[in-house]
Chain A
Amino acid sequence: MLDTYQTLETPESIDLELHLAGPVVRMLAFGIDVGIRAGIQILVAMVLSIFGQVGTAIMLIFAFTIEWFYPVLFEVFYQGSTPGKKSMGLTVIHDDGTPIGWSSSIIRNLLRFVDFLPFGYIFGLIAMCSNDHFKRLGDFTAGTLVVYTAPKQAIAPIPEDTPMPPPIALTSNDQRAILGYAERIHDLSPERQQELANHLSFITQAKDRDNIIWIVRIANWLRGSK
């Protein structure tokens, strides 16, 4: 299946799902970081300019630190996310799902220099588009992944209705599809709700609204409402 999910088996022998982040969202996050970085640099330069040459010296060291270690410091001390990544809901982790540490973070960020070549992150973009984990060269070398952080949303309630047993035996995939439909129903437009539900017309012998109600009732039964 063509998707951006990656399964990771943990020592507890469960399969965790990782949602990999693609080039576009990562570029947006990078753009935000560039802005923040420029802002910090200008602010610090303004403050330090009061202190004459000592200020210049500190500014040069500070500029060096920001240029090379801005992402490293955030990734190590801020749950794997720079402010830009955080605002896009992204985080950096090791290939095995463990949090990123000093060495990996320094490797992946030093190699930005090569990902940037020949200009504007061309190498990085080519690398990201030519593997199924969206890794740039720095990610390959450090063994890291950029993933979406787990959504913190609450479980969407399935609309309450009288439970009804399905007229035919449902496979487990069918059951998941029906439950998934019922949970997502609030996010769909009425037209889309009907369009999806009408795929079942040949079983229900009904149309539109009746189909939706039919599915919701079955979902209630599957979920175990009384």
Chain B
Amino acid sequence: MKQQQFEAKYRDEWQLFEEQLERLESANSTDTNLSNFASHYRKICYYLALAQERRYSPHLIDKLNGIALRGHQQLYQHKSNIIYNIIAFIVSGFPQHVRKHAKLIGLASALFYGPAIIFGLLVYFSPSLMFSFQSPDQVADLVSMYNPENNAEAAQSRDSEEDLVMFGFYIRNNIGIGFQTFASGILFGLGSMFFLIFNGLALGAASGFLSSLDYDIPFYSFVITHGAFELTAITIAGAAGIKLGFSLLNPGLLSRKQALIIAGRESIQLVYGVMFFLLIAAFIEAFWSSSSILTPTVKFSVGSIMWVGVFSYFYWCGRSSKPSQEELQ
């Protein structure tokens, strides 16, 4: 069959298919009559194959290629119930992923808490070390933040609207740090390790220095509750990043390219959990930890319950259900 006959014979079908594609591609598609889409699409594939085989002109092949590609995009798209997926992820998916990567998260925790404890003790016993880590201005800021006298004054002037601003600030700042800790892991894990160690040093420096000034109660009572979520989230973000880097260093039987894609798919599940935890942490930090009405005793008790809660969540949740086959897409 010559090209002109071919075009004349099937042009109407292509036109119809293109119209259907345009309806499907527009955001608010009301076209519910999709029963013939698949068969239409198969026919278009057939016409494209014929046109290629018969060496019809490039323009015709490009045109058919274009609509076949668009059809392919429509047919093979993945539509999932996002609300259901999020709930299923929180209830079972996230703890399952954490358990699966327990060793890696252990490594990340060692990289984070190890420097924190060592540097914390060093700073506690010789506080001047603090100034090798932070400038005097930063140290002064830190001290005034946890000075019990300042705190009482500040607390009175601070209203709920300011809490809200801090909530926004914590979201932007902390989740941003979580994302950076994860993403930089692709540099063979080094970036994540850097962020883990650096943040560990910062935590150790602050707690060591403030303890040496006897500001330990305001500091620890502030940190303990949201720390259960925030510190855990940072170690998980680091573990997810290290997983990316390790997939490049040790791809096993896969090609590096393939290993990286698979590691990315798994580690993003951990990152979803990190986001979830950091949102909770930002909320607690802004509205609970900073509250001056609550006594340190209350904060320490609730904070301990949170730590126990987080670990029980990771240990117990999602054990009965089968490993989620359908990942959060």
Interface of A is mostly: helix
Q: Known contacts A114-B183, A155-B60; decide if A107 and B264 are in contact (CB<8 Å).
A: yes
Query: What residues of chain A lie closer than 8 Å to B164, measured between beta carbons?
Result: 53-54, 57
CB-CB nearest in chain B for A143: B261
Q: Are A99 and B56 in contact, with the CB atoms below 8 A?
A: no
B296 to chain A, nearest CB (A): 27
A67 at the interface (CB under 8 A from B): yes
Bound-complex Cα distance A60 to B169 (A): 6
Query: What residues of chain A lie closer than 8 Å to B2, measured between beta carbons?
Result: 222-224
A164 at the interface (CB under 8 A from B): no
Q: Are A150 and B3 in contact, with the CB atoms below 8 A?
A: no
Q: Most A CB atoms within 10 A — which of B169, B183, B257?
A: B183
Query: What residues of chain B lie closer than 8 Å to A191, measured between beta carbons?
Result: none
Query: What residues of chain B lie closer than 8 Å to A225, measured between beta carbons?
Result: 4
Q: Are B328 and A103 in contact, with the CB atoms below 8 A?
A: yes
Q: Are A68 and B179 in contact, with the CB atoms below 8 A?
A: yes
Bound-complex Cα distance A10 to B49 (A): 12
> In the complex, how many residues of chain A place their beta carbon closer than 8 angstroms to a beta carbon of chain B?
65
> In the complex, how many residues of chain B place their beta carbon closer than 8 angstroms to a beta carbon of chain A?
67
Q: Are B67 and A141 in contact, with the CB atoms below 8 A?
A: no
Segment 95-140 of A: residues with Cβ below 8 Å from B: 97-99, 101-103, 106-107, 110-114, 117, 137, 140
Query: What residues of chain B lie closer than 8 Å to A153, measured between beta carbons?
Result: 63
Q: Known contacts A56-B165, A106-B271, A141-B186; decide if A16 and B65 are in contact (CB<8 Å).
A: yes
A12 at the interface (CB under 8 A from B): yes
B161 to chain A, nearest CB (A): 4
- Report which of A56, A93, A142, A173 forms a contact with B73, defined as CB distance below 8 A: A93
Q: Are B183 and A223 in contact, with the CB atoms below 8 A?
A: no
Q: A: which residues have CB within 8 A of B?
A: 10, 12-18, 52-54, 56-61, 63-64, 67-68, 77-79, 93, 97-99, 101-103, 106-107, 110-114, 117, 137, 140-143, 150-156, 158, 172-173, 175-176, 179-180, 182-183, 219, 222-225
What 10 A-B pairs are tightest by C-beta distance, nearest first? A224-B2, A150-B66, A60-B168, A179-B57, A64-B172, A141-B264, A57-B168, A53-B161, A57-B164, A224-B4
Known: A14-B45, A60-B169; 17 extra A-B contacts, CB below 8 A, are A14-B52, A14-B68, A16-B68, A16-B69, A53-B164, A53-B165, A61-B168, A98-B76, A114-B187, A114-B191, A176-B57, A180-B58, A180-B59, A222-B2, A223-B2, A224-B1, A224-B5
